[in-house]
Structures are given as structure tokens and as C-alpha cells.
Amino acid sequence: MTRIALDNMVALVTGAGGMIGGAVARRMTAGGAKVALADRRAPEATNESSRSYAADLSDPEQVRELVDTVLKDFGRIDCLVTAAGVTSLGSFESISVEEWDRVHAINLRGAFLINQAVIAAMKAQQFGRIVNIGSVLAKNGGNPRPWLDATEQGRAGNAAYGAAKAGVHALTLYLAKELAVHGITVNAVAPGPIASPMTTSFPEALIRQIPAGRLGQPKEVAAMVAWLCARENAFVTGEIIDVNGGLWMD
Ligand SMILES: NC(=O)c1ccc[n+]([C@@H]2O[C@H](COP(=O)([O-])OP(=O)(O)OC[C@H]3O[C@@H](n4cnc5c(N)ncnc54)[C@H](O)[C@@H]3O)[C@@H](O)[C@H]2O)c1
């Protein structure tokens, strides 16, 4: 593993109990960062300089309290990585209003809340790295060929999820402009299908359409996140970076 220096940085990673967030937390720890791991249930700490927190990140008060506690415990937040999220499958017609709201509550409102909550501290430091986890599904409309096999749409249709992630991409671009003068970069990583509980029912036929011929690994997403968080990467901002084995190119 190429070592990206993150020494003495404090990173807050949401969804750190999950596959991608967990890999990000380990990668950041390996790079020398102190990591605050947040999830619905406090995840396992990555080493003695990391700490774990339980919070529902769709709840404004819990998000505020989380950020205040992390600032009290570590004194600063240099990097925010937002990997908390839920998936949602099914055809567009089958999406209920409740399901639409459930997905948006964490995937988009949750990202908005935590991005907003760290800004004051990062501005005071005149330094910050925000990396939001977006998705290829915000770009490509999901399942590329529902007309060939309608059953794939039930297993790969993802409109509520894709719409929420498109919102994450948009807020990333917006915030990148607003915060650039404060030494804060804001980028998103848009993974393709990554081996995790979210993709257990991912159709084999769709995996074959990935030029790399396989699902991605959480550590491959984490490597890009760590790169974006490095101190020297100060001039990359407002990018939505694909990590998808060639599935989508733009
Ligand atoms: N796995 C993929 O193929 C893939 C592809 C593109 C994007 N993503 C995105 O990457 C991120 C991580 O996904 P993953 O594959 O690691 O999934 P995962 O299910 O392993 O991890 C998601 C984590 O988010 C947490 N979470 C959900 N709702 C929460 C809430 N309200 N408050 C606090 N924590 C909450 C879950 O508890 C879980 O630990 C998600 O945003 C997902 O949308 C995943």
C-alpha cells in the first residue's frame, strides 16, 4: 500500500461500521490519522488513537451533538468522509413515498447535515478535506438494460437512491466553490458496484458489463478517499471521482 501521509490529521468517518466506511477508517488510520468512527451503533475502534460514536446521522440534533463531541475529544476535524447510507431496490413504479423519504433522509439530508455541521470548525482552521461518497447510480440511470430482462429491474432498479446521490454530487460541487477560499476542498467519490451487503443480490449479467469484470473492493474506494484527504492535494476540489472499473466514464 502506498503510504499517503495523513499524520496528525483528525478524520470523522460516517458509516464506519459498514464495508466502505470501515475500509476508509482503516486506510486513514494506516496513513497516520486519528479517526472518529460514527455509525448507528458505535463501530469497533481501529486503534488506540481512534474513537467510536453512535448516532443516527439523519437526525439534525444527533449530528450536531456528534460533531461537538468529536471536536471536544480531538480538538479539530481535518477530514470528513460521509459513507453512511442505505440502498433501495425496485422498479420506479414500486417506490412508496415512505421509501423515497427513508432513502433521502440518510443519503441526502444526512450528507447535508454533517457537511454543514463541520464547516465552522474547518473555516476556523482554514483547512479541511470533505469527501462525500456518491454513486455511479447518480450518473448512469442505474440498470443499463431493463428492456432485456425486466426481472433485473426489481434487483437493480435504484431511482430513489440515485436521485439522493445526485443531490450529494450537487451539494459537493456547490460547497467546493463556497469553501475554496478557506483552504477546504470538497470532493465526492462515486463508486460503481462494490462487494458489500448492498450488492449481494446484484445480477451476474450486470457484473459482466463492468469492463474490469468484477465488483470493486471497499479498499479501492478507501485508497481514493485517502488520496483526496492528503494535505498536498489542496488544488483538487469540486470533483466527482469515479471508482467503478470502467462501468461509467465521463
Ligand atoms: N456498495 C456499493 O456498491 C456502493 C456503491 C456506490 C456507493 N455506495 C455508497 O457507499 C456508502 C457505504 O456503503 P457500503 O457499501 O459500505 O454499505 P454498508 O451498508 O456496508 O454501510 C453503510 C453504513 O451506513 C450506516 N448507516 C445507515 N443509515 C444510517 C444512519 N441513519 N445513521 C448512521 N449510520 C447509518 C449503516 O449502519 C452502515 O454501517 C453508502 O453511502 C453507499 O450508498 C456503495
57 close to ligand 1 (CB < 6 Angstrom): yes
Distance 59 CA to ligand 1 centre (A): 16
**Of ligand 1's atoms, which has the minimum distance to the CA of residue 43?**
39
Backbone angles phi, psi at 159, to 5 degrees: -65, -45
Least confident of 25-29, 86-90, 123-127, 200-204: 200-204
**What is residue 146's predicted lDDT score, i.e. its pLDDT?**
80
pLDDT digits (tens, 9 = 90+) for 39-70: 999 999 999 999 999 999 999 999 999 999 99
Grid cell for residue 200: 449481494
Distance 7 CA to ligand 1 centre (A): 26
User: What whole-number distance in Å separates Cα of residue 57 and Cα of residue 64?
Assistant: 9
135 close to ligand 1 (CB < 6 Angstrom): yes
Grid cell for residue 181: 477560499
20 close to ligand 1 (CB < 6 Angstrom): yes
40 close to ligand 1 (CB < 6 Angstrom): yes
- If one residue of 56, 133, 198 were mutated to test the ligand 1 pocket, choosing by the most ligand atoms within 8 A of its CB, it would be 198
pLDDT digits (tens, 9 = 90+) for 79-133: 999 999 999 988 899 999 999 999 999 999 999 999 999 999 999 999 999 999 9
Give residue 149's pLDDT band: very low, low, confident or very high (50, 70, 90).
Answer: confident
Which 3-state string (H, E, C) describes 95-107? CCHHHHHHHHHHH
Contact 194, 216 (CB under 8 A): yes
Nearest residue to 142 (alpha-carbon basis) of 170, 165, 110: 165
The residue assigned the cell 459482466 is: 208
Distance 133 CA to ligand 1 centre (A): 9
Domains and CATH numbers, the chain: 10-208+216-243 (3.40.50.720)
Hey, what's the torsion of the CAs at 123, 175, 106, 90, to 10 degrees? -160
